[in-house]
Structure 1
């Protein structure tokens, strides 16, 4: 789907697939999702996370959803920092 950069798979409970994309991707793909679209927007780093598919039962606890998105956003940030470090080392 256009605008999605990558997918993350969360294997601990709640198991789900999270799409990472540009800001506004949640509004665009939300209408195509079967479940209620939950999304997390990180304006400072310019990306948005959307739960694209639940592999377990639906989550109704907003605190659990928030913790899930915080973990995914942290993972994305660390991964991007690691990629940047590798690119910088290749240039030296």
Structure 2
């Protein structure tokens, strides 16, 4: 796995605080997961939605994918991975009229 930017380094450090975090990060950085994330971007759906079923199949018990720290870690890692592949976060902000 490449550690080319600050987000990837942060995700790598965070993986150490999650049960099975190293295995989870390794899966997320595999070509299969990255391709699914990129498909999500192309389809204009959250990239995490394209990999959630894959994660549930690969990690049926540990880590607990429903726990808040693990979910936050996955979101952070997905952002870091896509950033490392040249994608940028595009936020639409809602404002009161």
**TM-score after normalising by structure 2:** 0.36
Higher strand share: 1
**TM-score after normalising by structure 1:** 0.37
Higher helix share: 2
- Structure with the bigger RCO (C-alpha within 8 Å, sep 6+) is 2
